[in-house]
Amino acid sequence: MRNPSSRPTGRPKGLPKTGGGSRKGRPNKMTSDIKAMCLAALRLEGGVDYIRRQARENPTAFMGLLARILPTQVEASLAVDVNVSLEARRVIALELLERSFRRIDARQDQTNEAEALPPQ
C-alpha cells in the first residue's frame, strides 16, 4: 500500500513531456571533442607510422580498433547519369501515351462504324 504522506516524484501521469534534453540529431559535443583530441594525439605520435607500429606490437588492441572503426568508415560512390535515366523514362511514357491514344482512336472508329450501320 502506498504511503499517503509521501509526495509523488516526477511528472504526474497523463501530463505531456515538456521537451527537455538535447534536440534530435544534434551531435554530442563531448564525443566530438574527444575525437578531435585523439586525432591530434595521433598526429603528434607519428600518424600512420604509429598505427602500423601498434598493429605489430599490439595486434589484439589494433584489431579491436578496426572492429569499431571499419563499419563507420565505409565510403561509396555511385556515378549516375540522371539525364539518361530521365530521358529513358520520358521515351517510355511517350510510347505508353501513344498506345493509349491509338486504343482510344480504335474504339472511337468502332463506335462510329457501329453508328453508321443501318438498324436491322
Domains of the chain by residue range: 28-74, 82-114
Q: What is the pLDDT of residue 119?
A: 63
What string of pLDDT tens digits covers the 120 residues of the chain? 555 556 667 777 887 777 666 677 777 778 888 888 988 998 899 988 888 888 889 888 888 888 877 766 567 777 766 666 777 788 888 888 888 888 888 877 777 776 666 666
Question: For residue 51, what is its C-alpha cell?
Answer: 598505427
CA 64 to chain centre: 27
The whole-model pTM stands at: 0.36
Q: Tell me the C-alpha distance between 60 and 54, whole Å.
A: 10
Residue with cell 491514344: 101
Q: Tell me the C-alpha distance between 21 and 85, whole Å.
A: 45
